[in-house]
């Protein structure tokens, strides 16, 4: 009886194995074991340091972490794995000899969240290279030979949070990728240190929110020294941003082929950094953001009078946005000026920011009108002065009023005289006859007169100039001309 029981048990075992193989074959799923060159532990496959020239075939579909680092891989083609690894979330390919990656290489791993391509021989990042990795959060590309980065290389990577590109040969990086609301909206860390960056778009960097600048590492680059660069990093230092505070000694720039620390540019005589206040005019609409170093923080604003600012919907001209916690002024008034404080609270840390608002006591339109009025007044004054000078020095004079010498003065009088006529064509001495027209004579005192004490001697009359020719009258000499502007004119 015992041999029959053993045969029956063996028969049941073979039948069970046959049924299992039949079910597997019917489902179309081949039975895959752990590759010989790898060490498998549950859903983790470690194939590191095996001198592999290519990726092992027939990888288990349940693989969640695949370590292929420290091998001899040189190319990653589209067909590097025939099995679609939908459970794979981490792929380690560091310390290989990769110099080519197909744009379709990541199609079999659509749910990848962590990709390590560091310490390889990559030279360019072509367009749409990582577009299949829409769930990727961390990408390591440091210690390669990357020289060019296409602006479309990271398209469709909306979940990317950390991008490491240090220790490459990048001379220009498309920083428009990290603008707020750009192609990488969740990027909080961009490491561009130890590259060949010389010039930075400083204006664009200043506009970046603090949570991006806090993770933007630019140390160990041959940046060009100037005061704008100093002001930029001084601002980051004032805000205690990690990208500056953690690597202050490694932030340098080049000038005259010499390295200088960015915070020690005394040879440029740069002005000391000062935090600027927000400026507004009466009636302006203004929005001030609580520029925190971390996203998603709860924000509370307090007015200069220590009162909490209410959220949108309140019956007030100053409110707090429910979306991003920014401070909104509907119509700025003079009493709105002062220092506002934002208290930001997050999971990792809390932060307090102070913002000063200066309000000018006029509207922006009125300010321009004032400038225009002042400009018009200035132009009017200048024109008036020009007209006066023209009247004094450029008045037309007939040629017959020149070149005649003044006769000698009366012996008993110390007077100089000149004749002023209201009509240029009037000649009172023409023909020796005195015309009945207007005739005015002006006499000026001579301070050197003898015996007169600066007074006109009673009974004396002014001499009439001699006529040298018909139609002419004598012109006073230059001294007499200057006497027109004497301080003591006498009209007789």
- Give 355-398 as a 3 state SS string: EEEEEECCCHHHHHHHHHHHHHHHHHHHHHHHHHHHHHHCCCCC
Residue 6 lies in a domain: no
Nearest by Cα to 418 from 438, 392, 442, 444: 442
Distance CA 283, CA 275 (A): 25
Distance CA 308, CA 302 (A): 4
- CB atoms closer than 10 angstroms to residue 306: 7
Statement to judge: residues 52 and 134 lie in one domain: yes
Residue 10 lies in a domain: no
Q: How far is CA 26 from CA 19, 21, 30, 186, in A?
A: 10, 8, 10, 44
Statement to judge: residues 97 and 198 lie in one domain: yes
Residue 285 lies in a domain: yes
Chunked into runs of 10 residues, the chain (492 residues) has average pLDDT values of 58 60 48 82 95 92 96 94 94 97 93 98 93 96 95 90 96 81 86 95 90 95 95 95 95 93 92 91 94 92 94 86 92 94 92 94 66 68 84 64 48 40 43 45 45 44 44 43 40 38
Structure tokens belonging to residue 156: 């469709």
Residue 150 lies in a domain: yes
Statement to judge: residues 381 and 332 lie in one domain: no
Residue 11 lies in a domain: no
Statement to judge: residues 352 and 217 lie in one domain: no
Statement to judge: residues 219 and 368 lie in one domain: no
The answer for residues whose C-beta is within 8 angstroms of residue 247's C-beta and 6 or more apart is 193, 217, 219, 220
Structure tokens belonging to residue 422: 């209201």
Statement to judge: residues 284 and 369 lie in one domain: no
Distance CA 459, CA 179 (A): 98
Residue 2 lies in a domain: no
Q: What is the pLDDT of residue 348?
A: 86
Q: What is the pLDDT of residue 229?
A: 95
Domain boundary among 239, 268, 297: 268
Statement to judge: residues 118 and 72 lie in one domain: yes
Q: What is the pLDDT of residue 316?
A: 85
Statement to judge: residues 349 and 372 lie in one domain: no
Q: Pairing relation of β-strands 350-360 and 278-281?
A: parallel
Distance CA 6, CA 90 (A): 48
Statement to judge: residues 335 and 384 lie in one domain: no
Q: What is the pLDDT of residue 159?
A: 95
Residue 21 lies in a domain: no
Sign of CA dihedral 76, 77, 81, 85: positive
Q: What is the pLDDT of residue 426?
A: 45
Q: What is the pLDDT of residue 444?
A: 44
Q: What is the pLDDT of residue 237?
A: 95
The answer for residues whose C-beta is within 8 angstroms of residue 278's C-beta and 6 or more apart is 286, 288, 355, 356, 357, 358
Residue numbers of the domain that contains 356: 278-361
- Helix then strand count (H, E) for the chain reads 7, 26
Q: What is the pLDDT of residue 181?
A: 62
Domain harbouring 203, CATH code = 3.80.10.10
Domain harbouring 347, CATH code = 2.60.40.10
Statement to judge: residues 108 and 128 lie in one domain: yes
Q: What is the pLDDT of residue 13?
A: 62
Q: What is the pLDDT of residue 396?
A: 61
> Tokens 């007044």 belong to which residue?
377
Statement to judge: residues 211 and 126 lie in one domain: yes
Q: What is the pLDDT of residue 2?
A: 52
Please, which residues bridge with residue 320 across strands? 311, 327
Helix (H) or strand (E) holding 4: helix 2-27
Q: What is the pLDDT of residue 235?
A: 95
Q: What is the pLDDT of residue 33?
A: 80
Statement to judge: residues 72 and 175 lie in one domain: yes
Domain boundary among 395, 418, 453: 395
CB contact burial 251-279 (16+ within 10 A = b; e otherwise) = bbbeeeeeebebeebeeeebeebeeeebe
> Tokens 């592999």 belong to which residue?
52
Structurally, how many domains does the chain consist of? Answer: 4
Residue 7 lies in a domain: no
Distance CA 51, CA 357 (A): 64
Q: What is the pLDDT of residue 384?
A: 85
């Amino acid at each position: 009886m015992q041999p029959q029981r053993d045969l029956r048990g063996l028969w049941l075992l073979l039948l069970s194995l046959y049924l299992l193989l039949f079910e597997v074959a019917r489902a179309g799923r081949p039975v895959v074991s752990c590759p010989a060159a790898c060490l498998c532990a549950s859903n983790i496959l470690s194939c590191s340091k095996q001198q592999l020239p290519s990726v092992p075939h027939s990888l288990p579909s349940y693989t969640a972490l695949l370590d292929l680092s420290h091998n001899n891989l040189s190319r990653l083609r589209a067909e590097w794995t025939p099995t679609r690894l939908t459970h794979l979330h981490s792929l380690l390919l560091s310390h290989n000899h990769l110099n080519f990656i197909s744009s379709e290489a990541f199609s079999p791993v659509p749910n990848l969240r962590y990709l390590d391509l560091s310490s390889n021989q990559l030279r360019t990042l072509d367009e749409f290279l990582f577009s299949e990795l829409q769930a990727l959060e961390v990408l390591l590309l440091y210690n390669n030979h990357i020289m060019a980065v296409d602006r479309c290389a990271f398209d469709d990577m909306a979940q990317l949070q950390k991008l490491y590109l240090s220790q490459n040969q990048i001379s220009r990086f498309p920083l428009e990728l990290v603008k707020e609301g750009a192609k990488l909206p969740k990027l909080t860390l961009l490491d561009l240190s130890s590259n060949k960056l010389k010039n930075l778009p400083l204006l664009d960097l200043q506009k970046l929110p603090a949570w991006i600048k806090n993770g933007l590492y630019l140390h160990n680059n041959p940046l060009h020294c100037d005061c704008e660069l100093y002001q930029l990093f001084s601002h980051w230092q004032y805000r205690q941003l990690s990208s500056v505070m953690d690597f202050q000694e490694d932030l340098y720039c080049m000038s005259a082929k010499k390295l200088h620390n960015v915070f020690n540019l005394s040879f440029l005589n740069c002005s000391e950094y000062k935090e600027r206040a927000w400026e507004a005019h009466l009636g302006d609409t203004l929005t001030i953001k609580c520029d925190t170093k971390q996203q998603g923080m709860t924000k509370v604003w307090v007015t200069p009078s220590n009162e909490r600012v209410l959220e949108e919907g309140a019956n007030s001209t100053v409110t707090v946005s429910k979306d991003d916690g920014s401070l909104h002024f509907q119509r700025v008034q003079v009493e709105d000026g002062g220092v506002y404080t934002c208290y930001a609270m997050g999971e990792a840390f809390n932060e307090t920011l102070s913002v000063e608002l200066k309000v000018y006591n006029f509207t922006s339109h009125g300010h321009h009108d004032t400038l225009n009025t002042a400009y018009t007044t200035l132009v009017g004054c200048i024109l008036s002065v020009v007209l006066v000078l023209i009247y004094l020095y450029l008045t037309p004079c007939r040629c017959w009023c020149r070149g005649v010498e003044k006769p000698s003065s009366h012996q008993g009088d110390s007077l100089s005289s000149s004749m002023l006529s209201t009509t240029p064509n009037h000649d009172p001495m023409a023909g020796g006859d005195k015309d009945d027209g207007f005739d005015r004579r002006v006499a000026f005192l001579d301070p050197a007169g003898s015996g007169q004490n600066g007074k006109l001697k009673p009974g004396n009359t002014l001499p009439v100039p001699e006529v040298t020719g018909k139609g002419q009258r004598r012109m006073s000499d230059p001294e007499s001309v200057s006497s027109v502007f004497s301080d003591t004119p006498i009209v007789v």
